[in-house]
Amino acid sequence: MTRAISLHDVSKAYTRGARVVDRLSLDITPGEFLVLLGPSGCGKSTVLRMIAGLEEIDEGELLLDGEYANDLPPSGRDMAMVFQNFALYPNMTSRANIGFPLRIEAPGTDPTPRVDATARMLGIEDLLDRLPGQLSGGERQRVAMGRAIARHPSAFLMDEPLSNLDAKLRTHLRAEISQLTKELGVTTIYVTHDQAEAMSLGDRVAVLRGGVLQQVDSPRVVYALPSNVFVAAFIGTPRINLLRGLVRAPLDGAMTISLGKQFLRLPEPLSLDHQLLRVQQGREVIVGLRSEAVRIAKHSAARPGEVPITGLVEHVEFQGHEILVHFNTGSRPAVVPELEAPRPRPGRPARRRRREASVLTRLRERTGAGRSGPVVALDDPRDAGARPPAAEPRLPGDLIVRTTPDLALRHGMQVPLLVDLAHLFVFDQHGDRICPHPAHLPDLGE
């Protein structure tokens, strides 16, 4: 039997009152494989432990199959947890480790048939009489998974079970986990900071930052329509190109997005997405371009919807089946300073509110706090002179383009580029996506 799991405005705080999970709401359907994804310290393991009953819920409700379960003990939730560090009893054989929870649940019942069936499913029959110290990391993790599977639980809770393994073994076990959970049809919640695991395993991916849910959707939608610049930068390899831009929308001319020394000219008639950018006239925005949204080609070969720019080769990464070319286009990168941080850095002490601050400004500040702080730090002209400008890290170029390995490129070469505006992201100063429109999903060739 599998079950539905629902979290309604769940919050958790520790010693100093800072919330590690802040008003989280999630509905997980029976049999679904949901991945909790985010940087270390963002609260994803705490969410898992609250569902398991290992942590108390400070605020909000946990519903299991529609029934209130905040006060239900872990033993009454019928869930099995797979930990990052295997958590096997060192003095027990693999057979004893797998059968231990069965003996606790049903004393006097012989667990051997279920242990043997589980071992056959995982292909570890020849490991049943070995101690954990005699097993490799991958074998120990299979035994830990067997201990969870043998119980026939209503839900699997997996807390970064593959993070201690080497890359090749992670890929192999990832495929095994995907196949097993589909065969068993059990609701699974999987915690990871590895986007490759999240995108390949999950039916849906929930991205967390600073204890706040940023977006939850299918892997395709999270990649193609990130709700904000944090999600866009966290999902995708290589990381999305983020450039500072300035929208110019004259009444008697073409709309452009200035990128410093170059600009993107938006073709006319303007699409609905680009029409929405008019309200950003004169404002600084963040332009997002994934590496596949730009191609190396002569400007005369532009297809409909492509606009030309040029780039200076600064670095070439050979990847075997492809190369990643770092270009200098004269643009200023938009930095996500806290992308890998567990929580946003504390801001400066609040000053006395200026008399001219409007009600709308105060509402925006309050709304921004609910997003767990600003996602992107763009210079605020009102703060000019208040503090010295932060030194930005020196990166090889400002634009990374993915291309085929047959191109002969060298450092210092000036190369024509074509930008596909169908894959253009535009985010406002708070990091929220304003283009493409939320109802539009780019065609990914399906």
**Contact, 64 vs 153, CB < 8 A?**
no
Predicted confidence (pLDDT) per residue in 177-194, tens digit = 888 888 889 999 999 999
213 and 236 together in one domain: no
In the chain, pLDDT over 90 holds for what percent of residues?
54
Q: Is the pLDDT of residue 342 over 60?
A: no
If phi over 0 gives left and psi between -120 and 50 gives alpha, with beta otherwise, what is residue 106?
A: beta
Which region among 87-91, 360-364, 430-434 has the lowest average model confidence (pLDDT)?
360-364
197 and 158 together in one domain: yes
| Residue 188 counted as domain residue | yes
170 and 261 together in one domain: no
Name the pLDDT band for 114 (thresholds 50, 70, 90).
very high
Predicted confidence (pLDDT) per residue in 193-233, tens digit = 999 899 999 999 999 998 999 999 999 999 999 999 999 99
Q: What CATH number does residue 125 fall under?
A: 3.40.50.300
Q: Please state the domain count of the chain.
A: 2
Q: Which of 215, 198, 194 is nearest to 371 (CA)?
A: 215
Q: Is the pLDDT of residue 384 over 70?
A: no
92 and 182 together in one domain: yes
Q: Is the pLDDT of residue 438 over 70?
A: no
243 and 139 together in one domain: no
19 and 94 together in one domain: yes
55 and 147 together in one domain: yes
Name the pLDDT band for 168 (thresholds 50, 70, 90).
confident
* Mean pLDDT, the chain, whole residue set: 84
Q: Which of 224, 259, 291 is the last residue of a domain?
A: 224
| Residue 388 counted as domain residue | no
Q: Rounded to the nearest 5°, which phi and psi values hold at 246?
A: -130, 125
| 400-414: average pLDDT | 91
180 and 284 together in one domain: no
**Contact, 400 vs 326, CB < 8 A?**
yes
| Residue 360 counted as domain residue | no
| Residue 62 counted as domain residue | yes
| Residue 115 counted as domain residue | yes
pTM, entire model: 0.83
Name the pLDDT band for 129 (thresholds 50, 70, 90).
very high
* Amino acid 389: pLDDT: 42
51 and 176 together in one domain: yes
| 305-310: average pLDDT | 94
* Amino acid 374: pLDDT: 54
Name the pLDDT band for 326 (thresholds 50, 70, 90).
very high
* Amino acid 298: pLDDT: 94
| Residue 411 counted as domain residue | yes
Q: Is the pLDDT of residue 350 over 90?
A: no
The DSSP secondary-structure symbol of 253 reads S
Q: Which of 20, 432, 18, 22 is nearest to 212 (CA)?
A: 22
Domain range spanning residue 9?
5-224
Tokens describing residue 99: 């059968």
Q: Is the pLDDT of residue 393 over 80?
A: no
Q: Is the pLDDT of residue 78 over 70?
A: yes
Q: Which of 224, 247, 262 is the last residue of a domain?
A: 224
32 and 150 together in one domain: yes
Q: Is the pLDDT of residue 252 over 90?
A: no
Q: Which of 224, 245, 277 is the last residue of a domain?
A: 224
* Amino acid 358: pLDDT: 54
239 and 205 together in one domain: no
202 and 241 together in one domain: no
Predicted confidence (pLDDT) per residue in 40-60, tens digit = 889 999 999 999 999 999 999
* Amino acid 54: pLDDT: 94
| Residue 373 counted as domain residue | no
| 33-43: average pLDDT | 92
